Amino acid sequence: MERLQKLLAACGIASRRGAEKIILEGRVQVNGVTAQLGKTAQLGVDIITVDGVQLTARDKLVYLMLNKPCGYLTTKRDERGRKTVMELVADAGLNIFPVGRLDKDSEGLLLFTNDGGFANIVLHPSFDKQKTYKVEVRGDIHEAARLMRQPVDIDGHAVHARSVEIIRSSGDTGVLNITIVEGRNRQIRKMCAVCGVSVVSLKRISIGKLELGDLESGKWRYLTMDEVLSLG
């Protein structure tokens, strides 16, 4: 017997933390009864369903990357019927989930997997996976770059960019490559606001050694084993 959140993570439904949220939302049933957090079950013996779909053992691990366009929410489903990134990877035909988030107005590199352990390694700051964003901004670019390299307060937390590179500067507009590790909610946008510049566009171009490259917007591809190992 295993705790439900562990079973859901092992079968690629979500990370362990994400699985706990799914259970708390009442979306999981065991033998026809809505499950509570802490419930245990046995795969292959108990009938476990998530959103009405029966849970089955995962037979392989899957890793892919998407070049997310603007206008899509990074979530598995949206109760208001808005577009989600899952629509863009639906033809993969796999029970996968997005690793972390890119907000609706941001674009670029977004990973998907059914491996909860891999997702945790990519996301948790203790594993030091740097994420780089190409950010077009308006304002005093040079002063903002200087300030971002120092700790700034975001929602009560002191954060700073691991590196800030000025790619282009012309008048009061320019492009920065900003690298961070923490990855807090809308962190880049909030850092820019605190440092006196507004974001015109934001695109994640790399995670660790993995680069977005020339993958077309809205398209996805599988990661190579070397790419997976470089992240995991």
Which tens digits make up the pLDDT trace of 81-139?
Answer: 899 999 999 988 677 899 999 999 999 999 998 888 788 889 888 888 999 999 999 99
At the top level of CATH, the class of 63-125+212-231 is alpha beta
- Assigned architecture for domain 2-54: Roll (3.10)
Rounded to 5°, angle at Cα 23 from 19 and 27 = 110
Residue 177, Cβ neighbours under 10 Å: how many? 17
Predicted local distance difference test score (pLDDT) of residue 93 = 66
Domain 130-207 has CATH 3.40.50.360: no
Ranges for all domains in the chain classified under CATH 3.30.70.1560: 130-207
Q: How far apart are CA 24 and CA 52, in angstroms?
A: 16
Q: How far apart are CA 161 and CA 225, in angstroms?
A: 29
Predicted local distance difference test score (pLDDT) of residue 111 = 97
Q: Smallest Cα–Cα separation from 100: which of 87, 89, 85, 78?
A: 85
**HSE toward the beta carbon, residue 101, CA cutoff 13 A:** 16
Residue 230, Cβ neighbours under 10 Å: how many? 13
**Residue 128 is among the residues annotated as catalytic for this protein:** no
Predicted local distance difference test score (pLDDT) of residue 76 = 87
Q: pTM of the prediction?
A: 0.75
Buried b (16+ CB within 10 A) or exposed e, 13-45: bbbbebbbebbeeebbbbeeeebeeebebeeee
- Phi, psi of 110, rounded to the nearest 5 degrees: -135, 130
Burial of 115 (0-12, 13-18, 19+ CB in 10 A): buried
Q: How far apart are CA 21 and CA 184, in angstroms?
A: 18
Ranges for all domains in the chain classified under CATH 3.30.70.580: 63-125+212-231
Question: One of 91, 103, 155, 214 is an active-site residue; which one?
Answer: 103
Burial of 135 (0-12, 13-18, 19+ CB in 10 A): buried
CB 8 within 8 A of CB 28: yes
Q: How far apart are CA 159 and CA 152, in angstroms?
A: 5
Ranges for all domains in the chain classified under CATH 3.10.290.10: 2-54
In the chain, which stretches have pLDDT less than 70?
12, 56-60, 93
